[in-house]
Amino acid sequence: MPPAFTPRTLAFLRALERHNDRDWFRSRKDQYETDVRGPMVQLLARLAVDLRAFAPELIADPRVSLYRIYRDTRFSDDKRPLKTHIAAHFPAKGFARHEGAGLYLEVAPGWVWIGGGLYMPAPADLRAIRARIASRHQRLHRIVNAPAFRRAVGGLEGERLSRVPLGYPKDHPAAEYLRFKQFLAGCEYEAAFACDSRFYREVLTVFRAVAPLVRFLNEALLEHRHASMPGIEGRDREPPPDRLPGAPRQRNRASRW
C-alpha cells in the first residue's frame, strides 16, 4: 500500500523549522497543500472508511480532525506563528469541542507519533473516569494488558499521582490505575517511517489496539454527562487547538499531544 506521505513532506517540515515566519510560508502555501496537508487529507479519507470496522463512533473528517498550521500565540511566550508538524485527532461523536478521548496521529520533522487516549481531562471528567475505574477495573486491566495492546504501544502511560487519590483506600484493587491523571497509549517512530509502505498498516494496528481504551474512557464521560444532565445530548465536536524490517521506535512522545 503506497504511503500518503513522501520525503517531500519531511523536507517541507524541516524547512519550516528553519524559516518559521508567515511570509516564507505564504510564498510556499501551494507546496504545503500538495506535500503536507494533501497527504494527510488523503489519509483521513482512508481512515474514515477503515475506522468503521473497529471504532465507528470516532470521526475522521478534515473539517473536524485536521489541526490548523497556525499557532495560537496570544497567551504564549513562544511567538513562532506556525506549527512545524502535521497532526490529526479522531474524536468521538457525542462530545462538545475539546472534550472526550480520541485517537491521534502526528508527523513531525524528527518523529511520527501514533496513539490515543485522553491528554488533559477536566477535574470533573477525571473524577468520573476514576469512579468507572474503581467499579470496572477488571475491564480496564484486560484492555491495557491485551496482547495486541502490549505489542502495539507497550502499556498505559501518562502523568500520575504518587499515591491513591483521596476517597479511595490505599489497597483498592484498582490503585495502580486510579493514580493516573492522564490516560495515554502510543508509540513513536522515526520520521522516515511516514514514507514507508508499512506506515498505514501500522496506523491501523495501533489505532485498533488503542480504540478499546478510548471507548472505555468515553463511556465514563458520557455516563457522567447523562447522569448530571438527563435528556441533553452531546454535540459532535471539533478537535482542540494544539495541543503511536519494523521502523526503529520509542514509546510515548505523548507530551507533544
Backbone phi and psi for residue 48, each to the nearest 5 degrees, phi listed first = -60, -30
48: which 3 cell numbers? 474514515
Place of cell 477536566: 122
pLDDT tens for the chain, 257 residues: list them. 667 899 999 999 999 999 999 999 999 999 999 999 999 999 999 999 999 999 999 999 999 999 999 999 999 999 999 999 999 999 999 888 778 999 999 999 999 999 999 999 999 999 999 999 999 999 999 999 999 999 999 999 999 999 999 999 999 999 999 999 999 999 999 999 999 999 999 999 999 999 999 999 999 999 887 777 655 444 444 344 344 333 444 444 544 45
SS3 for 117-158, per residue?
Answer: EECCCCHHHHHHHHHHHHHHHHHHHHHHCCHHHHHHHCCCEC
Give 138: exposed, middle or buried? Use CB within 10 Å, 0-12, 13-18, 19+: exposed
The grid coordinates of residue 249 equal 521506535
pTM of the predicted protein model: 0.88
The DSSP-derived string for 14-48 is: HHHHH--SHHHHHTTHHHHIIIIIHHHHHHHHHHH
Half-sphere exposure of 123 (CA within 13 A, CB side): 1
Confidence (pLDDT) at 230 = 58
Task: Quickly list DSSP for the chain.
Answer: ---S--HHHHHHHHHHHH--SHHHHHTTHHHHIIIIIHHHHHHHHHHHHHGGGT-TTB---HHHHBPPSB---TT-S----B-SSEEEEEEBTT--TT-S-EEEEEE-SS-EEEEEEESS--HHHHHHHHHHHHHHHHHHHHHHTSHHHHHHH-S-BS-B-SSPPTTS-TT-TTHHHHTBS-EEEEEEE-GGGGGSTTHHHHHHHHHHHHHHHHHHHHHHHHHHHHHHSTTPPP---PPPS----PPPEEE--GGG-
Give pLDDT, residue 112. Answer: 98
Given a contact cutoff of 8 angstroms between Cβ atoms, the answer to whether 119 and 182 are in contact is yes
Q: Which domains does the chain have, with CATH numbers?
A: 7-256 (3.30.930)
> Which residues pair with residue 58 across a beta bridge?
92
Q: What is the pLDDT of residue 238?
A: 39
- Dist. CA 30–CA 238, nearest whole Å: 25
